[in-house]
Structure 1
Amino acid sequence: MSQFKKQFLVGIIAATAAAGACTTVLAADPIKIGVAVGLSGANSVVAPAVVQSSQLAVEQINAAGGILGRQVQLEITDDASGAVGAQKAYDTLVFQNNVDAIISMETSAARNAALPIVARGKKPFIYTSFYEGRSCSPWMYVNGWVPEQQVAPVVDYFVKNKGAKTFYLVGNDYAFGRGMLEFTKKYIEQHGGKVVGEEYLPIDGTDWTPILSKIRSAHPDALISATAGGAPNVSLAKQIKGAGLTLPYGNLAIDEGTAKSMGDAATGTYMSASYLTSIDNAGNKAFLTAMDKRFGKDLKTPNELSEPQYEAFFLYKAAVEKAGSTDSSKVIKALDRVSFDGPRGPVTMDKSRHTPLAMRLGQIQADGSVKILQSFPDVDPGAQCPNIK
């Protein structure tokens, strides 16, 4: 383990202990919320921002009196961005720490490995990451976007504004990459376009050179990728730039924080997001001000993967208060239709355990910021989990 990761993990443990120390203010028995996130592995690039959002949410909730008069305590574990790590992390949270709920931003591989453990432990689980859709469990709600909400803005823009008729699709070889690009291919073909190539690299792979050579030979009008986020986004973007490919490029998995860390490799990339720091509303301004005040020079850029994490704590709070209890079965029922008006605007989990979202098509600028090109209010997630009651 690198010295950086050691220091980061020590910091997380210290923050968790500090959060626990303040729980005696209102009640001796805190509400424990587990956060499993990729402090190591592919998601380690975005994990620090997710942790910061979790910390701010808990501190704000506790400062306002907690939930039902009880303080909230964070329990943070490393899922190593994958299935094996998630199994260990969730065993710890569910059966050793006996958390009251889990709120986590994770890879699809980690989520899929975690769901059976969540079901055995009967713990409410809010999954905060964007993902490939149609992952359903009686114990899970989702407040991130799904393909039905995210793909159309990018593809439609390339077709209408860039004249794209042929596309090349590139992703990581696991549930998210394949699920996103399967949906994207269908959408492209349904709207008269053609996919001239589709390639995948293992989630821990770093050399995109052979795939980029195939793209060059295929001469597509546009390129769209769906990686594991974090580190794979960085390696892919840098190698695209190094290869001299200049075709319109849409990244279905990049977040604003990662983009800012990539330098000019990200410049010009198109993305579709439900959250960007440039959103102009009172909730986002308050959120950004609070984040800056709390973390100062150590602040990680709030982004599409960290803001829904912040928001989910308040959705859980609303569900507990609606249920009048932290009892898992009561909270799960209450999570349907709870709302929170925050940085993204009003969010309500009332559509097949998912939420309609305002989506924004953006393009990454030279300074890493994202210019919003188009906005799409109240985009429906579609029929994600119609048979889960």
Structure 2
Amino acid sequence: MISRRKVLKGGGALAAFAGIGLPGIARASDTVKIGLTIPTTGLQAILGQTLLNCYQLAAEQLNAKNGIGGRKIELVVEDNQTTTKGAVDKARKLLGQDKVDVIMGGIISLERAGTLSVTAKAKKLYFYPTFFEGGECSRYFVATGAIPTQQVDPVVPWVTSNLGKSVYILGSDYSWPRKMTDAITAALGKAGGRVVAADFYPFGTQDFGPAFQRVKDLKPDVVWSMVVGNDGVGQLKQYRSFDLKQPMVGPADEVINMAALPKGLAAGTYAPQSYWMAIDTPANKAFIKNFRSRFGEERMLNSIGEAAYNGLNLYALAVEKAGSVEDDKVIAALSTVEFDAPQGPIRIDPSNNCCVLNSYVGKCAEDGWHYEVTKSFGQIAPVTPDCNLRS
């Protein structure tokens, strides 16, 4: 394994996105073009800016050193509008018109699926930063966010031991919450728990009263929410208005809470993530300091942004190891590099192109914005019984 610290040495003035030719990898141009598909409008716009900022930070830090193998990074940014059509159209533009070397980004499943439908057919690499339901098995798809065996399987036994054994689930009506519900149900069965009911709501739902009335009627020990984006903000406010006593486990994070929630509203809720700002490592302290110096001292970070930052750094390491931006050569090198990420060391498992990463339960502090690390499960391998890219 080689690390970012071993590969990138020396300085050089910051020339972000410029084409300064330096000795390095074999190249047809003096830049490495990275296409970003970012939801800066639509349902997930609440998370899109942080995602973009983390890619920009990684690119600027690399460019301030030696770029990627002597080539400066050029980011080409497109708004996928949090829609399937937007994701497809922007992926086609990035590959066909902009001629990018790799595509990165996207948040919810429909963005991922739309982008991958283009990149896989073109045999071009796509790095996806968001925790998701799994199920993708493509040589040209790389996931740097958690899958259920990392975000559900270690967490559910902790939930049954510390919060309760009966769980009510509500989620947005798309593939991530539905498939995660299957994973939670299976994990609860193994841990002696059960799902009492699960309800799914279309994007744009404003009234979650029926769900919380069911909670009052069914009296579960725990409410597990997978309502996403701006809809999740509304459902948390309504959860509080119903004065429910059950603890909530959900996908919220410090970015959402600070941007959209009144002080204290999310206090006491839990979330399973691969990254929290409270992680006490030198790499994380530097990550937060550099991010805030660049984008504002009050800005928050989350696991999706950290996974984006990690993905660009892993790609840079693999390109340097391969000596090329050719996709197949980068893929071959990818599993041989390791990055000292803010969450801790990470790497890509060559059997499925998913990330070996850390798993944590965070509990929202009294201010309703920050999270404390309640439980660390350590580094967890991404187990995918239905995908083996080595075979």
Q: TM-score, normalised by structure 2?
A: 0.89
What does the per-residue CA deviation read over 1:312-371, in whole Å, with 9 as the maximum and x for residues that have no partner?
111000110111101122112222232111211110102521122221111101221101
> Are the aligned partners of 1:354 and 1:384 in contact in 2 as well (CA < 8 Å)?
no
Instruction: Name the residue aligned to 2:178.
Output: 178
> Are the aligned partners of 1:274 and 1:304 in contact in 2 as well (CA < 8 Å)?
yes
The answer on 1:204 being equivalent to 2:204 is yes
For 1:106 and 1:161, how far apart are their aligned partners in 2? 30
Instruction: Name the residue aligned to 1:37.
Output: 38
> Are the aligned partners of 1:32 and 1:100 in contact in 2 as well (CA < 8 Å)?
yes
User: Which range is displaced more, 207-216 or 165-174?
Assistant: 207-216
> Are the aligned partners of 1:353 and 1:384 in contact in 2 as well (CA < 8 Å)?
no
For 1:379 and 1:227, how far apart are their aligned partners in 2? 25
For the residue of structure 2 that corresponds to 1:358, the secondary structure is strand
Pairing 1:68-107 to 2, within 5 Å after superposition? 68-107=69-108
Instruction: Name the residue aligned to 1:63.
Output: 64
Cα 1:287–1:384, aligned 2, differ >3 Å: closer, same or farther? farther
For 1:203 and 1:381, how far apart are their aligned partners in 2? 29
For 2:366 and 2:153, how far apart are their aligned partners in 1? 25
Q: Any gaps of 5 or more consecutive residues in structure 1? A: 1-17
Pairing 1:1-389 to 2, within 5 Å after superposition? 19-20=16-17, 22-24=18-20, 26=22, 29-162=30-163, 164-228=164-228, 230-251=229-250, 253-261=251-259, 262-263=261-262, 264-297=264-297, 300-350=299-349, 352-367=352-367, 368-383=369-384, 386-389=387-390
For 2:92 and 2:232, how far apart are their aligned partners in 1? 30
Shift of 1:46: 0.8
Query: How many correspondences in the alignment?
Result: 367
Shift of 1:72: 0.4
Cα 1:23–1:207, aligned 2, differ >3 Å: closer, same or farther? farther
> Are the aligned partners of 2:103 and 2:125 in contact in 1 as well (CA < 8 Å)?
yes
Cα 1:100–1:385, aligned 2, differ >3 Å: closer, same or farther? farther
Task: State the AA in 2 paired with 1:51.
Answer: L
Shift of 1:388: 2.4
Shift of 1:384: 5.6
Shift of 1:180: 1.0
What does the per-residue CA deviation read over 1:168-210, in whole Å, with 9 as the maximum and x for residues that have no partner?
1111111111111111111112222121111000133232122
Shift of 1:387: 2.9
For 2:233 and 2:265, how far apart are their aligned partners in 1? 8
Identity over aligned residues, as a percent?
A: 33
> Are the aligned partners of 2:34 and 2:75 in contact in 1 as well (CA < 8 Å)?
yes
Task: State the AA in 2 paired with 1:23.
Answer: G
Instruction: Name the residue aligned to 2:8.
Output: none
For 1:169 and 1:280, how far apart are their aligned partners in 2? 32
**After TM superposition, what 4+ stretches of structure 1 lie above 4 angstroms from structure 2?**
25-28
Task: State the AA in 2 paired with 1:144.
Answer: G
For 1:345 and 1:154, how far apart are their aligned partners in 2? 19
What does the per-residue CA deviation read over 1:49-104, in whole Å, with 9 as the maximum and x for residues that have no partner?
11111111101111111112110000111111121211111111111111000121
Shift of 1:26: 4.5
> Are the aligned partners of 1:153 and 1:361 in contact in 2 as well (CA < 8 Å)?
no
Shift of 1:153: 4.8
User: Which range is displaced more, 282-291 or 354-363?
Assistant: 354-363
What does the per-residue CA deviation read over 1:25-50, in whole Å, with 9 as the maximum and x for residues that have no partner?
65963110011011111211111111
For the residue of structure 2 that corresponds to 1:178, the secondary structure is helix
For the residue of structure 2 that corresponds to 1:89, the secondary structure is helix
Cα 1:203–1:336, aligned 2, differ >3 Å: closer, same or farther? farther
For 2:55 and 2:300, how far apart are their aligned partners in 1? 14
Task: State the AA in 1 paired with 2:352.
Answer: S
Task: State the AA in 2 paired with 1:149.
Answer: Q
Cα 1:260–1:353, aligned 2, differ >3 Å: closer, same or farther? same
For 2:178 and 2:303, how far apart are their aligned partners in 1? 20
> Are the aligned partners of 1:170 and 1:200 in contact in 2 as well (CA < 8 Å)?
yes
> Are the aligned partners of 1:95 and 1:121 in contact in 2 as well (CA < 8 Å)?
no
> Are the aligned partners of 1:105 and 1:129 in contact in 2 as well (CA < 8 Å)?
yes
For 2:323 and 2:115, how far apart are their aligned partners in 1? 27
For 2:93 and 2:375, how far apart are their aligned partners in 1? 43
For 1:70 and 1:31, how far apart are their aligned partners in 2? 6
For 2:220 and 2:296, how far apart are their aligned partners in 1? 44
Shift of 1:223: 0.7
For 2:252 and 2:134, how far apart are their aligned partners in 1? 17
User: Which range is displaced more, 256-265 or 88-97?
Assistant: 256-265
For 2:385 and 2:36, how far apart are their aligned partners in 1? 24
What RMSD in Å do the two structures reach over aligned CA positions?
Answer: 1.8
Shift of 1:256: 2.1
> Are the aligned partners of 2:137 and 2:387 in contact in 1 as well (CA < 8 Å)?
no
> Are the aligned partners of 1:37 and 1:79 in contact in 2 as well (CA < 8 Å)?
yes
Q: TM-score, normalised by structure 1?
A: 0.90
For 2:56 and 2:233, how far apart are their aligned partners in 1? 26
